[in-house]
Each structure stands twice: as C-alpha cells, then as structure tokens.
Structure 1
Amino acid sequence: MRCFPTISDLFEYLFHIHIAIPIQTFGFFVAMAFILAYQAFRSELKRKEREGDIHAFKREVVVNQSSLLIELCLNGLLGFLLGFKILGALLNYEAFKVDPAKYIFSLQGSIIAGLLCALAYIYWIYKDRKKVSSQNNTVTAETVHPYQLMGKIVFYAGFWGFIGAKLFDMIDYLYQHGFTSLHDLVFSSGVTYYGGFLFGMLAYFYVGLRNNMKLPFIADMGAPGIMLAYAIGRIGCQLSGDGDWGIVNTHIKPNWLRWLPDWMWAFNFPHNIINQDTRIPDCYGSYCYQLSRGVYPTSFYETVICMLLFIFLWMIRKRLTVPATMSYIYLILSGTERYFIENIRINPRYHLGSISLSQAQIISIGMVLVGIGGIVYLYLIKPKRYTLT
C-alpha cells in the first residue's frame, strides 16, 4: 500500500494503466464529499417538505431587460470566480496545499474552469428566467421549494466555512508560535475542520432561518450529510498522505488482528503528498518521501467509523419524530468519535492544569455535552413541562 498524490497514481495502481489525469487525489475526494453531501441535504429537504415540516414559499420577482442582463453578468462573474479558484485549487492542489491563503488571494487559478463555470451559471439563470415574460417591468410571483435553496446554501457554507477553518487554524498557530508577524499568521498554510464546520453550519442556519424554516428541522436535515462529507473527505486525506495522520504506533499488532493488513495498523505513508520525512531509495519524481516510523492511519479509521455512523443516522432518520433529536444524536456521535481519535493523532495540545487536550477535543467535549443536554431536555424535561401545563 502507498499514497496516491494524484488520481493518475491511483488509477495506475488499480488498473496498471497510466493515464495523465491532472487532478489531485485530495481535491477529488473533497469535491466528492461536497457532491454527495449536497445530494443528502437535497434529499432531506425534499422529504421534510413532503412531511409538512418545512414549506415552499412565494416571492415576487421584478424582471426587465436591464435587470436580467445585470443578473446574468453578476452570476457569470460569481461562476467564474468559483471555477477559477475552487476548481483551480482542485486541479492544482499541490500549490494550494503549500499555502491555501496565499493561493486564494493570488491571481493563480484555472481560467478554463472559470469560464466553464461562468457559462454554466449564466445558462442556469437564463433558463430559469426565460419562463418569465420578456416585457419590461414584469412582476411575477414564483414558488420556491426549500431544496432549490441548495445553491445558496453551498455558496454561503463554503465561503464562511473557509473563513472559520482559517480563523481556528490561526488560534492554533498563535498557541504554538505566538505572534511572529501578521503575514505568518494570516498566510500560514493550515485549515481546521471544526472551524469550517461551525462557521459553515451557522451560514446554513442563517439561510434556513431567513426562509422561514424552524431551527430544529434545519439542524436535523443537515446531520447525515455532514457526517457523510466528513467520511468521504477523510478518504482523500488517507490516500494522498496530506499529514493528517496519527502518532507513531509503537505497539505490536495483536494476534487477534493478524487478518488485518499491516498498513491498517501502522503505516509509513510512502509517496505522501507533503514530502514528509525520509527519502525513498531509488525513487525519482515529485513524491519520493515516507515516514521513517509507522503511524496510526487515523484518516482511514475515521473514514470507516464515520461511514458507519452516517449509515446509522440515515437508517434512523425517519423513525425520529421529535424535532432536534437527530442533530443532538449527531453531536454526541461526532464529538465522541473525534475526541477518542485525537488521542492517537498529531495535533497541538492545550494545557489546562494537568489536563492536555487538543482544540478538537475541547470542541468535541462541548458537542457531546450539548448533545446529551439536548436529549435530556427533549425527552425528560420538556415532556414534564408540557404535562404540567
């Protein structure tokens, strides 16, 4: 077993055929995480609308030739920027990984991807608006179903998720290195999952609340999709060897796990994408490094665990009749999983007296406490209150 910095490497390993595919493995699985989570969110929005928990709404749209042209131009520009930067980052993940913030604020990107996304956005808006009369100052009322808000949700959650991921990484950077310079703080290369998760979810809640959805239903609908996205994203971490691995595994594999491949117990991530540690003998090319000692492949563990948790959440979602139950269960499961996996991951530690915890563990404890408190409130405190009244 080895790492696969690009999809070409993975394809060649599986099928023994080399096809030049200029897509980074990590970027590919991040894109897959977004796509599959999008489908899960969309499916839940449709189901909740059928069950009457959320509703379609009417909005007035004033259309004339000038406003249509402006709308097409603005959406074309938005599509270009998204394609230029986001798809450009996926196509050139190595440069993005080295310094994400510098890449985002530079002129680097994919012009072809930007133009394709711009055309797609323009066509999408034109197709939607061509149903409306071409006469000037036409006022029309259109029905908007909740699942049609997914485009806005993805944009808001993606934008604010990146901001949050960067801010939380800056907190870690300050704790480890102190304030060295504004440039080092802003342009450090890391991002933090929980920062992206918290800010992305707040943006998702904002869009839902602005469109008259109730918070418990918004939270419940998002839980399975978030778990799925995390599981898929971790596949990219594992296959590319992006540094999200565990501590050195000094333990000998027990006899009852003899059937387990050695790399699942301790893995040295040969050909990792960040060129970490020791050069591989007789290897030539861009990715010729491996770890000198085997570490816990924590990304693999999280993929398996979180995929099972997603299946569990998906199976029980229709059986939960009390709003907010799903979201509280998600908080407990996700927080518990991350807390324990952090014990064998390499992450900065915050020292609280004699207790040493990572940022993710501190947040995980909060998630579990909120989840347990929410379940207690829904099933023990709230029913009694209603009984008394």
Structure 2
Amino acid sequence: MYPILFKLGPITIYTVGVLHALAIAVAVWWAFRHTQKAGIDPKQFLDLAVIIIVWAVIGARVFSILFDGNLSGYLQSPHKMLMVWEGGFTFYGGFIFGLAAGVWYVQKHKWNSWKVADLMAPALALGLTIGRLGCFFSGDSFGKPTNLPWAVTFTSPYSAAPTGIPLHPTQIYSVITNFIVFGILLWWQKRQKFQGELFLVFMMLYAVTRSFVEVFRNDPRGVYLNGLISTSQIISILVAGTAVWLYFYRSKRVRSGVIVSEAK
C-alpha cells in the first residue's frame, strides 16, 4: 500500500512507524483520561505507561528474534538484532514483558492491580486497532493468496508483502476484530461484577480473535507441525486458558463473598 509516508532529505518516515506511535499515544490517552475513576495519580500513571512501553518494545523484539523463524540469521549477524527500523516485533512478547513490568510497578506503589488492568484493557484494544492499520500500509503480517473479492494486492517495492499477488487482508481482519473487542469491552464495562473482569475478558477475546486471524496469515512468524499452528496460536491457547481459569476463579470468590462483588 503506502509503506513510506514521506521523505525529508535522507530521512525516510515510514507509515507503520507513525501509526504505531499514534497507537501508543492513543492507548495512553484513553487510559489516562480514566485514571481518576481508578483512583490512580495521573502523573504516576504516566510513569507507569513509560515503563510498560519500554519493556513492551523490548519484549516484542526479543520474541520476534526468538520465535519468528530467523533465529539462526540473527545469531550469524547479531548486529541485526538492534536494527529495529527494519521491523520485527511480536505483540505477545510486548504484552508479556509489558505486563510483568506493569505488575512490578503497580505492586511497588501498592495500587490495586486488577483496577489498573481493567483501566488498560480498552486502551490496549484501541491501540491494537490503530497499530494493525500500520501493518496494512507496510504490508507486514500479510495473508495467504486468495481469489476472494476483498483480496488486496500490494504493488509497492518497499512493501513487506509479496507484490502482484491477491492476498487475504489479514491486517484488516485484525483491525476489525480488535475494534469489535474494543466495543465489547465498552459494553461489558458497564456490567462487570468484579475487579479484573474486563482485563480477563480482553485476554480471552484477543486470544480467540488472534488465533482466528492467524489461520489466514502467511508471513514468516514461526510455525510448527508443517504450518498447522503458529507461535501466536500456541501462546493464545495459554493466554485464553489462563484467562478463563482466572475468570471463573474470581467469579466463584465473588459469589462466596471472599472478594468485593463490584468493580467500581
């Protein structure tokens, strides 16, 4: 599509970078405007956001290096691990590292971890919606060849996707599913019964929708069993399973009166 937004002399501004930066900014903005409801100091929240973003970027890069199928290439040319402008980030790596860093910061400041997690859930879904638009413009995370009427054909020589071949618009599938998840979370937010419920619902919905989109993807990202399952699908199974268990565990504790039954 349009992998290069514009050039300023020797400097190239890539569309994916701009949209990913916008995705982060919008996600932080969305969560920031709801901090008072969660009883969080806005300034401290921004500190938390910076820590999460830094570690999420590190985690996304580490997982890409380890699991996207090019580990041997990185070991032969270690300097390429630092060439982040060429792409190579994995959401689940960022999610896991960012979550760990966030939990550490929240525990350090003795905040309510589940309240903070609920605050982040819609922001994550909204940020992912915008971020996947960046993937579409760059041709990253491209799909399998198809003759469906909504197939997309990339023509730019700078595209990460193969050119001249009609492909599943998997990036748009992700945009749509992530925005649907965002809408469901806004609806669920008014009906949640316990703290942490919104975040757990996000984990379940994202894992399911991500696994669905993975079926149509064809980019190098780490696949196993002759392409039957990808790294992200394996992680999605673990994430969904963990979220379902925690959801029913906390629901049971609400019914038994062990934890507070409202999420305000």
With normalisation by structure 1, the TM-score equals: 0.58
- Which of 3, 21, 33 lines up with 1:43 in the alignment? 33
Q: Are residue 168 (structure 1) and residue 76 (structure 2) matched?
A: no
Q: Secondary structure at the match of 2:21?
A: helix
Count residues with an aligned counterpart.
251
Q: How far apart are the structure 1 equivalents of 2:106 and 2:160?
A: 42
Query: Residues 288-303 of structure 1 correspond to what in structure 2 (within 5 A)?
Result: 291-303=163-175
Q: 1:213 Cα shift?
A: 0.7
Of residues 126, 130, 135, the one that matches 1:232 is 130
Could you tell me how far apart the structure 2 residues matched to 1:156 and 1:366 are? 25
Q: Paired residue for 2:222? A: 348
Q: 1:180 to 1:323 in 2, by over 3 A?
A: closer
Map of 1:220 onto structure 2 = 118
Pair 1:355–1:233, CA change in 2 (3 A): closer
Aligned equivalent of 1:147: 42
1:245–1:345 contact (8 Å) kept in structure 2: yes
- Of residues 143, 149, 158, the one that matches 1:273 is 158
The worse-fitting range, judged by mean Cα deviation, of 149-158 and 366-375 is 149-158
For residues 272 and 349 of structure 1, what CA distance do their matches in structure 2 show?
26
Q: Is residue 145 of structure 2 the alignment partner of residue 248 of structure 1?
A: yes
What is the distance in 2 between the residues matched to 1:160 and 1:208? 15
1:206 to 90, 104, 107: 104
Show the counterpart of 1:73: none
Greater radius of gyration (CA): 1
Q: Is the 8 A contact 1:336 1:364 kept in 2?
A: yes
Identity of matched residues, %:
24
Query: CA 1:276–1:316 in 2, change beyond 3 Å: closer, same or farther?
Result: closer
Q: Which runs of 5+ in 2 are unaligned?
A: 260-264
Counterpart-to-counterpart distance in 2, 1:218 and 1:150: 9
Deviation readout 1:6-35 (Å, 9 max, x if unpaired): 3459xxxxxxxxxxx964221221121112
> CA separation of 1:174/1:154 partners in 2, compared to 1, >3 Å: closer, same or farther?
same
Q: Distance in 1 between matches of 2:16 and 2:153?
A: 18
Amino acid at match of 1:349: V
Question: Where does structure 1 lack aligned partners over 5 or more consecutive residues?
Answer: 10-20, 50-144, 254-261, 278-290
Cα distance in 2 between the residues matched to 1:369 and 1:34: 27
Higher relative contact order (CA 8 A, sep 6+): 2
**1:32 equivalent in alignment to 2:25:** no
Listed one character per residue, the Cα deviations across residues 126-155 of structure 1 (whole Å, up to 9, x for unaligned) are: xxxxxxxxxxxxxxxxxxx52212331232
User: Match for residue 4 of structure 1?
Assistant: 2
TM-score with structure 2 length normalisation? Answer: 0.84
* Maintained 8 Å contact 1:173/1:185: no
What are the residue-to-residue correspondences of 1:1-389 with 2, within 5 Å?
Answer: 3-7=1-5, 23-49=13-39, 146-173=41-68, 177=72, 180-181=75-76, 183=78, 186-187=81-82, 189=86, 190-241=88-139, 243-249=140-146, 252-253=147-148, 262=149, 265-271=150-156, 273-274=158-159, 277=162, 291-346=163-218, 347-351=221-225, 356-380=228-252, 383-384=255-256, 386=258
